[in-house]
Chains A and B, each alone.
Chain A
Amino acid sequence: MVEAVNSSLGKMLLEEVSPVVMVLCTPLVEETFLKNGLSFVETLKPFCNFSNIDVPVRTSGDQLYRLKKFTLRLFNASDIKQPNVEVAKQRLEHVITQAGEKVFHDLESDPPQITDILSNPESEIAPTWFQYYNKELIRTLSFSDHEAFDHPVACLLVASSKDEEPLNKFVDLFNTNRLPSLLNDGVMDPKILKHFLLVHDNQDATTERTSKVLSEMRSTFGNNECNLLCTNSSKEGNVEHQANPWASFKSSVPAEKLGFALTGDDIGEIKDLMQEFASRHIIPYMEQKVRDLNQQISATRKGLRNQIKNLWWRKGKDDVPDSTKGSIYTFSSTESQIRILGDYAFMLHDYELALSSYRLISTDYKLDKAWKHYAGVQEMMGLAYFISDQSIKEAEYCMENAFSTYMKLGKSGFQNATRCGLWWAEMLKARDQYKEAASVYFRICGEEPLHAAVMLEQASYCFVLTKPAMLHKYGFHLVLSGDHYKICDQVNHAIRTYRSAISVYESTTWSHIKDHVYFHIGQWYAIVGMNDVAVRNMLRVLDCGNQSKSTQEIFLRDFFDIVKKTGMKHEVVGLRLPVINMSSLQVIYEDHRTYASQASALVEESIWQSLEDDIIPSLNSGKSNWLELQSKLLPKKYKESNVCVVGESVKLDLEFRNPLLISTSVTSVSLICELTANSDDLKLDKEPSSLSLETEHNQVTTSGLSSFTLSEVDFTLGGGEKKLVRLTVTPSEEGILKIVGVRWELSGSIVGVHYFQSVPTKAKTNKAKRKNKLTPTDALKFLVIKSLPRLEGSIDHLPDKLYAGDLRYLVLELKNNSESPIKNLKMKISHPRFVNPESHEEELTPGFPDCLKKGPEQNTVQRETSRTSVFAFPKDVSLQGDRSLRWPLWLRAAIPGTMSLYFTIYYEMENVSSIMKYRTLRMHYSLQVLPSLETSFEITPSPSRLQEFLVRMDIVNRANSDAFEIHQLSTVGCRWGISLLQPVDTILPSKSILPGQGLSCFFMIKDCRKPGIEEEKTTSILPSQTDTKLITQDDDEKFFDIVNSPLASFHESERSCHGTSDQLSPNTVDFILISRLAKSSNPSAEQDLLKILSHHSCHNRIRSSIPLSWSLDGPKTMYHDFSTSFCEIKLKMVIRNTSDGFLSVSINTIDGLPDAAAPTPSSGNLSGWRYVPAITEEMKLTSDVMGSRLGKPPPSMESSPPFIWSGSSSTKVQIQPLSTTEIPLQVSVFSPGTYSLSTYELVWELFEHENASSATSGTCQGYPYYITVLQSE
């Protein structure tokens, strides 16, 4: 804290509360001094501040003290009047405007940083013109009628020696008619100290005359009161002053022109004159006056008696209603005298006396309700307290009191309040109470915007100076101030304040604040014509998604207006409209991998890699292959960069988002790329610096000669909309291509640029393993290699939705547009179950679906079953130029669901000059497969015949809307013949299965192999026996050929898909059901009629719980003459091992009564008996039937006469897997009758293999077998 006197307020008071000297001079005097470009008062002004005088002063007390510093204020008599309000206002405005012009050039620079502001020394925080402004503001109140310190103390009368009759001039000068009205109408005391000065112009006046006049003067006015001033001593008038004393007082004229006729001696003379005037005349005069007044006042007002008298007297004046209008106090009134006493004492730095006088008068004014006078006195008290370093509290209280009293006066008091406020604020500042000072500034803002602006700005600087700095408030007040400046068209100042405010709000996330500040400063810069700066600031508000729609519209409209004014296309790095979603960045390019469609490019690389594994040459093979060659050719540096081919575009997907609510048109979106020609790889490798020399940036490239072409995209983004945009670059020369960024035009007037530095991308890189090693910039860097053939492929009419089982004929069309041929084509399909390529190129002759039917010549050539998943095109297939290859494909929707089909076609280049030897074409399609018919089969062995089986087929239509006609059921292979047990037409008169409908049909299948013969010896059954027509539409219709491609191949796939552990078991039947879509009423679905569906059911096992089946063969009825002998009947038991293991079976026959517990083996003991075998057979095979048979035979048996099983040689047999064995049996019947020969059981044991110890075993009861033996005639 500085000493009060040395504070800025102290200095200000010394200057402003100082004796006024009224100057009266003749026109010739002015003329003399105007030679120097200065008026008389101006010439003297710099010499009125005395900082090193030493004048002893004695005022009220007996104590002498010394004045060290003193100031005089000189005024021309004509200026001693209350300034015109309007003129004063204009002057203030002029001050501001001038200051504004000065700052204009600073506005273009970047806004100051907050740290700079804080580190500035205190005095530099506020612009210097504020002091000047404040001074001017205070001066608008000079010569007010309620204060006395502006009253002239002395009068300086000046005449020139050139004047005619100078003595008369002096008298004329002090003629009351010419004196200021304030002196005449009694506000100010006209009886003041007079001093006479004769001016001698050394250039054109004679010394004789001057000295004569001077002596006359002295004799007339008194010796002491007269002085001579010699001036303009320099004849040539070219004196230059080192530090021109007038420069700071008169800024309108260049400093070097001021006072050029005044020599150093002249200046010294002026100085001496003024100092003498002050110390010899003015101070003693004031001293004397103070003493006189003090005496007078002590006599009339001091002491108890006087006080009471005064009070009583004042009470009587109560009826004086309003004392604010017009002055009731003339200079001679006691009140004014006291005030004068106080002010004089103040000016003579006797603050004690001043205070006591003020206190005295203060109560008087209060009682008189002379509020303005009261406030004025309070104000002076505050200042006196402050400057004498007395109670801070008192000082503040007085200032507050003065301020609020002025404010109460309303408009008339506001100016005084302002002055008071300014002093008050200065006072607080001197005491480091910046926050309070700021609030005082805020209070004196007033209604006039310009004034308010200056005050708010001053307040803001106070906030910086508080400890700790209140930067939020600083910013806020600057913004408020800026708004006020703008209201009075002080745009420069408005910009200046906002610029400073930006330093506070720069990093804020308070959206409204940020938008407001940047938008307005942008607008204002545009007003002052700095459009580019304006645009720069306005850019910050473009991302104003949180504002309302109308605000956004205003922002954008203004922005584009300004941009238009600049008349050029700005290129803005980091434009936030639209917003680029960098995480969406995806690069799609083709090196040796090419893609048939967008969809295939987006498929994950690993899927393709696993698909291509066995068709592309392997990396790890020890052989010197093309890849090693490639690695040698590639410069090391670029080994890891991506490869692309001349003429083939690199695509980049990027998402643009509109943050606004209004739609925005974005045009000419294109990539920014660099293509570096590398004429010599190795050279480049050694001198990477040459890279930059050859760099070609597309921004620079004009047209035509560009080494790459870029796509341009235009689109409009609606409010809040996101769009994924595909951008491409197509290199047309070899080299290194770098994608640097993206550029776009916004509404055709501004160019946004976004660079992709250090951005993670999802670029598809060469090898998945290396993916991690690649830096993002590498992902956008490509080695461009020579143009290569590129295969294009498509599958015509691939449906996207079809029924399960649907069989389609498709054509794969391949095209190589380049002139160089390709060879060695191979194809791999991800789902061979779905797609099956035809083995030759020919078009189908009969057309679809007739080609599927059996031709006249039965082509039963078995297809080779060893299928690889890679399909190699014939060697002679070579593609080049316009020729396209149309390759037939079969599609069969194997299972319902959504399927992704991946095709990859490998091909090699014939002309091997490039580093790339092969490429792959990748195609991706997705299918939606709807459920259709679902079949299930149940096969049960025929009880009567060993080779025949009963098949029950259940069909359910799972489709939602379509009906199907079942057409044909075939068994696969030549083993099983099939026949219909019952015409389907009878079960299904409508001929088509409706959605949701189920159906069961019965068939008989017959194993056509010769029993006992080992597998694979195909018996020749007619192929037609394996098919059966289910619904006959017309008689000539041929069967579908299931033996040949494509049905056979699809069946193979199905088989392998359904393959389970028991797939090797040949005891299974495969069925193919062929159906078609029923004719629908919908005429648009006409072509659907062609649809053929095939349903494959594989590995249907014959259901049986025991591993064997057997039958007993023999006569049913026979005649025998029992009179001769008993009847011996030979029977044959055929046992088949239906399992995969080794079977051991022993046959136990039971003779006689079943009750007899004699389950002994049948041999031996029963021999000698003969029976006649007889009649019918019935067989039941299901296990539960057998269960019920366990136990006793039917009761009828008990009454039947006995027969015996006659012995056979062997009753225990071993049966190889899936083979059949015959066992001869014999029964002896003793009397005619019908016998049941079910009294045997088969005990079996099943081994996993021949020598296995573990076994499963079981017992089977014999089947009923009735034989009737009759007595022969």
Chain B
Amino acid sequence: MFGKHKTRSNLVRDFVMANTACFMIVARNDIPIYEAEVGSAAKREDAAQLHQFILHAALDVVQDLAWTTSAMFLKSVDRFNDLVVSILLNPLYLPGSRITSTHFDTKIIKGTIMVTPDFGSKNSIPVFLSVFQL
């Protein structure tokens, strides 16, 4: 992507934060079951918004990739300007319920969350999505 596009407009300029990342777990039917904004930058409303938009849009790519690649972790599947979307496919199956544990939050932020991929099936797609700045 072309660097100079970064500041294409006010809107996009506002959107692009420094050192931000967003981590989400998405269950079937695109239902988000967990979301966490991580990163050193102060949390901004519009950043969260943009992150959601980007991750939501990336689901299209995920749907494609889920059937075409055998890799479970895809470092960069989609990008919007300098924001990169990574996905981790189907590491565990969580039917429906939202993750609300604060313990989980701290694990995510510390980056110690461990997931064991289940290579058996891809049809139950909880997807770990994260968007971070290059």
A residues whose Cβ falls under 8 Å from a Cβ of B: 407, 443, 445-447, 449, 452, 463, 468, 470-473, 475-477, 479-480, 483-484, 487, 508-513, 516, 547-548, 550-551
Report the interface size class on chain B. 20 to 34
Known A472-B30, A513-B53; 20 more pairs at CB < 8 Å: A407-B2, A468-B63, A470-B60, A472-B57, A472-B58, A475-B56, A475-B57, A476-B53, A476-B54, A476-B56, A480-B11, A483-B11, A508-B56, A509-B32, A510-B30, A511-B52, A512-B48, A512-B52, A513-B56, A516-B49
Asked whether B31 lies within 8 Å of A452 as measured between CB atoms, the reply is no
Asked whether A472 lies within 8 Å of B11 as measured between CB atoms, the reply is no
Majority secondary structure, A binding face: helix
- Give the shortest distance, in Å, between B127 (CB) and chain A (any CB): 12
Cα-based distance from A446 to B9 in the complex (angstroms): 9
Cβ of A471: which chain B residues have Cβ within 8 Å of it? 60
The 22 sampled A-B contact pairs (Cβ below 8 Å) are A443-B2, A446-B8, A447-B9, A452-B8, A468-B63, A471-B60, A475-B56, A477-B57, A484-B9, A487-B10, A508-B30, A508-B56, A509-B31, A509-B32, A510-B32, A510-B52, A511-B52, A512-B48, A513-B49, A513-B56, A516-B49, A547-B45
Asked whether A472 lies within 8 Å of B56 as measured between CB atoms, the reply is yes
Asked whether A479 lies within 8 Å of B10 as measured between CB atoms, the reply is no
Most chain A CB within 10 A, of B31, B45, B59, is at B45
Cβ of B75: which chain A residues have Cβ within 8 Å of it? none
Cβ of A547: which chain B residues have Cβ within 8 Å of it? 45
B residues whose Cβ falls under 8 Å from a Cβ of A: 2, 5, 7-12, 30-32, 45, 48-49, 51-54, 56-61, 63
Cβ of B48: which chain A residues have Cβ within 8 Å of it? 512
Query: Contacts A476-B54, A512-B48, A512-B49 hold; do A449 and B9 have CB atoms under 8 A apart?
Result: yes
User: Ordered nearest first, which 3 A-B pairs have the shortest CB separation?
Assistant: A476-B57, A470-B60, A512-B52
- Give the shortest distance, in Å, between B42 (CB) and chain A (any CB): 12
Cβ of B49: which chain A residues have Cβ within 8 Å of it? 512-513, 516
Query: Contacts A483-B11, A510-B52 hold; do A463 and B31 have CB atoms under 8 A apart?
Result: no
Q: B54 — nearest CB in chain A belongs to which residue? A: A476
Q: Indicate which residue in A447, A472, A479, A551 contacts B60 across the interface (CB closer than 8 Å).
A: A472
Cβ of A511: which chain B residues have Cβ within 8 Å of it? 52
Cβ of A476: which chain B residues have Cβ within 8 Å of it? 53-54, 56-57
Cα-based distance from A472 to B63 in the complex (angstroms): 11
Q: Indicate which residue in B5, B10, B31, B59 contacts A472 across the interface (CB closer than 8 Å).
A: B59
Cα-based distance from A511 to B10 in the complex (angstroms): 23
Cβ of B51: which chain A residues have Cβ within 8 Å of it? 512
Cα-based distance from A407 to B2 in the complex (angstroms): 10
Asked whether B60 lies within 8 Å of A487 as measured between CB atoms, the reply is no
- Give the shortest distance, in Å, between A548 (CB) and chain B (any CB): 6
Asked whether A479 lies within 8 Å of B53 as measured between CB atoms, the reply is yes
- Give the shortest distance, in Å, between A493 (CB) and chain B (any CB): 15
Cα-based distance from A150 to B108 in the complex (angstroms): 61
- Give the shortest distance, in Å, between A1202 (CB) and chain B (any CB): 95
- Give the shortest distance, in Å, between A708 (CB) and chain B (any CB): 43
Asked whether A510 lies within 8 Å of B56 as measured between CB atoms, the reply is yes
Q: B49 — nearest CB in chain A belongs to which residue? A: A512
Cα-based distance from A461 to B11 in the complex (angstroms): 21
Q: A509 — nearest CB in chain B belongs to which residue? A: B31
Q: Indicate which residue in B8, B45, B56 contacts A445 across the interface (CB closer than 8 Å).
A: B8
Most chain B CB within 10 A, of A472, A509, A513, A548, is at A472
Cβ of B7: which chain A residues have Cβ within 8 Å of it? 447
Query: Contacts A472-B60, A487-B10 hold; do A551 and B52 have CB atoms under 8 A apart?
Result: no
Q: Indicate which residue in A445, A463, A479, A483 contacts B5 across the interface (CB closer than 8 Å).
A: A445
Q: A508 — nearest CB in chain B belongs to which residue? A: B30
Cβ of B52: which chain A residues have Cβ within 8 Å of it? 510-513
- Give the shortest distance, in Å, between A705 (CB) and chain B (any CB): 51
Cα-based distance from A551 to B43 in the complex (angstroms): 13
- Give the shortest distance, in Å, between A206 (CB) and chain B (any CB): 64
- Give the shortest distance, in Å, between B41 (CB) and chain A (any CB): 15
Cβ of B12: which chain A residues have Cβ within 8 Å of it? 480
Cβ of A508: which chain B residues have Cβ within 8 Å of it? 30, 56
Cβ of B8: which chain A residues have Cβ within 8 Å of it? 445-447, 452
Cβ of B58: which chain A residues have Cβ within 8 Å of it? 472
- Give the shortest distance, in Å, between B56 (CB) and chain A (any CB): 5
- Give the shortest distance, in Å, between B15 (CB) and chain A (any CB): 9
Cβ of A548: which chain B residues have Cβ within 8 Å of it? 45
Cα-based distance from A480 to B16 in the complex (angstroms): 13
Cα-based distance from A849 to B2 in the complex (angstroms): 97
Cα-based distance from A1228 to B12 in the complex (angstroms): 130
Query: Contacts A484-B11, A508-B30 hold; do A473 and B57 have CB atoms under 8 A apart?
Result: yes
- Give the shortest distance, in Å, between B78 (CB) and chain A (any CB): 9
- Give the shortest distance, in Å, between A421 (CB) and chain B (any CB): 12
- Give the shortest distance, in Å, between A432 (CB) and chain B (any CB): 15
Cβ of A443: which chain B residues have Cβ within 8 Å of it? 2, 5
Cβ of B10: which chain A residues have Cβ within 8 Å of it? 487
Cα-based distance from A407 to B1 in the complex (angstroms): 12
Most chain A CB within 10 A, of B30, B32, B56, is at B56
Cα-based distance from A362 to B67 in the complex (angstroms): 43
Asked whether B57 lies within 8 Å of A487 as measured between CB atoms, the reply is no
Q: B53 — nearest CB in chain A belongs to which residue? A: A476
Q: A513 — nearest CB in chain B belongs to which residue? A: B52
- Give the shortest distance, in Å, between A482 (CB) and chain B (any CB): 10
Cβ of B2: which chain A residues have Cβ within 8 Å of it? 407, 443
Cα-based distance from A476 to B59 in the complex (angstroms): 11
- Give the shortest distance, in Å, between A471 (CB) and chain B (any CB): 7
- Give the shortest distance, in Å, between A648 (CB) and chain B (any CB): 46
Asked whether B45 lies within 8 Å of A473 as measured between CB atoms, the reply is no
Cβ of B32: which chain A residues have Cβ within 8 Å of it? 509-510
- Give the shortest distance, in Å, between A545 (CB) and chain B (any CB): 14
- Give the shortest distance, in Å, between A448 (CB) and chain B (any CB): 9
Asked whether B60 lies within 8 Å of A473 as measured between CB atoms, the reply is yes
Cα-based distance from A443 to B60 in the complex (angstroms): 19
- Give the shortest distance, in Å, between B36 (CB) and chain A (any CB): 13
Cβ of A483: which chain B residues have Cβ within 8 Å of it? 9, 11
Cβ of A509: which chain B residues have Cβ within 8 Å of it? 30-32
Most chain B CB within 10 A, of A445, A513, A551, is at A513
- Give the shortest distance, in Å, between B50 (CB) and chain A (any CB): 9
Cα-based distance from A470 to B5 in the complex (angstroms): 23
Cα-based distance from A422 to B32 in the complex (angstroms): 36
Cα-based distance from A512 to B37 in the complex (angstroms): 13
Q: A466 — nearest CB in chain B belongs to which residue? A: B60
Q: B98 — nearest CB in chain A belongs to which residue? A: A509
Cβ of B54: which chain A residues have Cβ within 8 Å of it? 476
Cα-based distance from A366 to B45 in the complex (angstroms): 49
Cα-based distance from A443 to B5 in the complex (angstroms): 8
Cα-based distance from A510 to B54 in the complex (angstroms): 12
Cβ of B56: which chain A residues have Cβ within 8 Å of it? 472, 475-476, 508, 510, 513
Cβ of B61: which chain A residues have Cβ within 8 Å of it? 470
- Give the shortest distance, in Å, between A495 (CB) and chain B (any CB): 17
Most chain A CB within 10 A, of B7, B48, B49, is at B49
Cβ of A551: which chain B residues have Cβ within 8 Å of it? 45
Cβ of A475: which chain B residues have Cβ within 8 Å of it? 56-57
Cβ of B57: which chain A residues have Cβ within 8 Å of it? 472-473, 475-477
Cβ of B59: which chain A residues have Cβ within 8 Å of it? 472
Cα-based distance from A447 to B5 in the complex (angstroms): 7
Cα-based distance from A463 to B59 in the complex (angstroms): 13
Most chain B CB within 10 A, of A473, A479, A487, is at A473
Q: B48 — nearest CB in chain A belongs to which residue? A: A512
Cα-based distance from A475 to B59 in the complex (angstroms): 12
- Give the shortest distance, in Å, between B64 (CB) and chain A (any CB): 8
- Give the shortest distance, in Å, between A503 (CB) and chain B (any CB): 14
- Give the shortest distance, in Å, between B96 (CB) and chain A (any CB): 12
Q: B9 — nearest CB in chain A belongs to which residue? A: A449
Cα-based distance from A445 to B12 in the complex (angstroms): 12
Cα-based distance from A1217 to B57 in the complex (angstroms): 96
- Give the shortest distance, in Å, between B27 (CB) and chain A (any CB): 10
Cα-based distance from A472 to B53 in the complex (angstroms): 9
Most chain B CB within 10 A, of A470, A484, A510, is at A510
